[in-house]
Every structure is written in C-alpha cells, then in structure tokens.
C-alpha cells in the first residue's frame, strides 16, 4: 500500500509543509459517497488528505458512539485504491489531550433546528472538530457531501464568519441505483429495513414533482409516502430556504430544500433534495 497513515498532528503538519492540500473529513466506514468526495478532492489539489476520526464531541449520551462502525483496515484499502496520499487517523487523546475541549465553536440558531433539535450539541461538536482539522491541515479546499445539508450550511457559515482561508466544496449525494442515499449507518439495516428506507428518497422524489403545486402539496406528497411504510418513524419533514436554512413561508417561491429524518427500525437516517417551489 502506498497510502501513508499519520496518527499525530505534529507528523501530519511536517508531512504537509509547503503543499497545497484538499481535505476530506470523515468518520470512516467508507462507501462510494466518501469516495466521490475523494475523487473530487484529487481534482482540486495535488495532495489529498482524508481524515478518519469518530469525534466523541458530536455524539449525544444516548447515541451510537461506541457502536459506530470502525473499519480502518477496509477503509485504507479503498483509499489506497483511490490514490489517496495521506490518511490522518488520530486517537481521541491526540485530538483532545486535556479531555473534551473547553473552547467550542457554537453553531447558532440553525444549529438548534432539525438535526440539532434531535441531537443537542451535535453541530457544536461537529464544527469544533472541523475547525481543529482545518487548523491542523490548513487545506486550500475542504470537501463535504450534500447528503448532510445542514452540516454543509453550518460549515460554510463558520468558514465565512471566522474568515477561515479555505474553499468549501460540496459534492452531490451518491445514491444506490434504487435511490437510497449511501450512509455508513445503512449497514445497520436488515433487508426489510433497507427496502423500507427507500421511502425517504421516494418521498423526496414525490416532493420534487409536487413543487409546482406549492408547499402544502409538497409536504402532503412526501408525508403520504413516508406514512405508507410502517417500519419508518418520521422524525422531521421540513422545507427550508437554502439561503437561511430556515423553514420557508407559505408564500415562498423558488429553490428550496426538503429535509427528511426518520428512524427505520433502530437506525436513524437523513436525506434531502433540492426542489423548486412554484404555484
Ligand atoms: P461521515 O463519515 O458520515 O461523517 O461523512 C463524511 C463526509 O462524507 C461528509 O461530508 C458527508 O456529507 C459525506 N457523505 C456521506 N454520505 C454521502 C453520500 N451518500 N454522498 C455524498 N457524500 C456523502
């Protein structure tokens, strides 16, 4: 294997000295969605760094931190095949040597909505680790997937608000042929649940094709798909203005993003799609 695994901040900084870097932050358990980010990163910079770090700061007390899939050996094979030069895989102690960091980035109002409402503190933890990774790697570009739309919005906001010298690149959601958005958590699903999980992408398609009939029709179309699947328990379904990430008013017209979070069995999944609200 020619990929170099670096576990310490000092070694990574030394290895990257003088290079132009594109960074792909991940929590590992890599799939083709992550690899789409890696491939785009290779177009943007000569040196690609993929970080693999399951960040305790962004998991709530009752979430799947301990259970989150850790598949480093498999991940390295995939990243090596994709031509990645450096993998940064620090320990929790390396990232938080004095315990959970006292200084945090706070996500603000949008950080308390949707994923933030279901997962209090999640976005502060996510932004804090992303800020640390940007400080460690100092990449010219950093890549995120549209699959995590609220994360993308908040990272873009942080980079603008804190004048971080990097370009945030967003990569479209990679899906299975049947529409299911790839996710590290899909591996928790059994066959029945996997079929039921298709309701999320099907609901988004229904929402998309109802856009011309206005917001109520969009919500009704998505809801009827989600309600039709009894293994799916909806957490939230909302339509937001892409510029503010706040729910749209009834008279809003133009581009909007439909957000869905749902539990399928014990597994919590999210998905989203851009629509055009007319009518
Ligand atoms: P994670 O390891 O789940 O934290 O994800 C790392 C990065 O991969 C994030 O920027 C995600 O948005 C992105 N990602 C995850 N799933 C997909 C997907 N299906 N398509 C595109 N990007 C994805």
CATH number for position 141? 3.40.50.620
Q: Number of folded domains in the chain?
A: 2
DSSP state of 174: P
105: left (phi over 0), alpha (psi -120 to 50) or beta: beta
Look at residue 102 in the predicted model and tell me its pLDDT: 86
Give the span between the Cα atoms of 54 and 235, in whole angstroms.
24
Look at residue 1 in the predicted model and tell me its pLDDT: 81
Residues 99 and 15 in one domain: yes
Q: Which residues contact 107 (CB under 8 A, 6 or more apart)?
A: 116, 123, 124, 126, 127, 154, 158
Active site residue 276: no
Residues 202 and 151 in one domain: no
Look at residue 101 in the predicted model and tell me its pLDDT: 81
Ranges under pLDDT 70 in the chain: 279
Q: Parallel, antiparallel, or unpaired: how do β-strands 254-264 and 232-240 relate?
A: antiparallel
Residues 166 and 223 in one domain: no
Residues 37 and 150 in one domain: yes
Ligand 1: which residue has its CA nearest to atom 6? 26
**Residue 133 lies in domain:** 4-171
Look at residue 62 in the predicted model and tell me its pLDDT: 87
Distances (CA, A) of 235 to 77, 91, 160, 201: 36, 33, 30, 15
Domain assignment present for residue 80? The answer is: yes
Cα 210 to middle of ligand 1, angstroms: 27
Cα 191 to middle of ligand 1, angstroms: 22
Domain assignment present for residue 204? The answer is: yes
Ligand 1: which residue has its CA nearest to atom 11? 145
Closest atom of ligand 1 relative to the 28 alpha carbon: 2
Give the span between the Cα atoms of 166 and 196, in whole angstroms.
39
Closest atom of ligand 1 relative to the 172 alpha carbon: 21
Look at residue 140 in the predicted model and tell me its pLDDT: 98
In degrees rounded to 5, what are phi and psi of residue 62? Answer: -105, 20
Look at residue 235 in the predicted model and tell me its pLDDT: 97
């Amino acid at each position: 294997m020619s990929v170099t695994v670096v576990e310490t901040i000092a070694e990574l900084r030394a290895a990257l000295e003088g290079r132009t870097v594109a960074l792909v932050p991940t929590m590992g358990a890599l799939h083709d969605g992550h690899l789409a980010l890696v491939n785009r990163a290779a177009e943007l910079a000569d040196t690609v760094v993929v970080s693999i770090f399951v960040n305790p700061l962004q998991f709530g007390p009752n979430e799947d931190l301990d259970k989150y899939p850790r598949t480093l050996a498999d991940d390295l094979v995939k990243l090596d095949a994709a031509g990645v030069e450096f993998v940064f895989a620090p320990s929790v102690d390396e990232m938080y040597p004095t315990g959970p960091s006292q200084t945090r980035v706070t996500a603000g109002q949008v950080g308390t909505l949707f994923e933030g409402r279901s997962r209090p503190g999640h976005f502060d933890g996510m932004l804090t680790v992303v800020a640390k990774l940007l400080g460690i790697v100092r990449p010219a570009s950093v890549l995120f997937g549209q699959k995590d739309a609220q994360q993308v919005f908040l990272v873009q906001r942080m980079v603008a608000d804190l004048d971080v010298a990097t370009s945030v690149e967003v990569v479209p959601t990679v899906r299975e042929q049947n529409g299911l958005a790839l996710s590290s958590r899909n591996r928790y699903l059994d066959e029945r649940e996997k079929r039921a999980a298709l309701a999320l992408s099907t609901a988004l398609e229904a929402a998309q094709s109802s856009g011309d009939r206005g917001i109520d029709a969009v919500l009704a179309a998505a809801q009827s798909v989600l309600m039709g699947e009894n293994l799916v328990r909806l957490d939230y379904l909302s339509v937001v203005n892409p510029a503010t990430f706040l729910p749209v008013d009834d008279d809003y017209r133009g581009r909007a993003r439909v957000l869905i979070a749902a539990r399928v069995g014990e597994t919590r999944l999210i998905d989203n799609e851009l629509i055009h609200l007319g009518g």
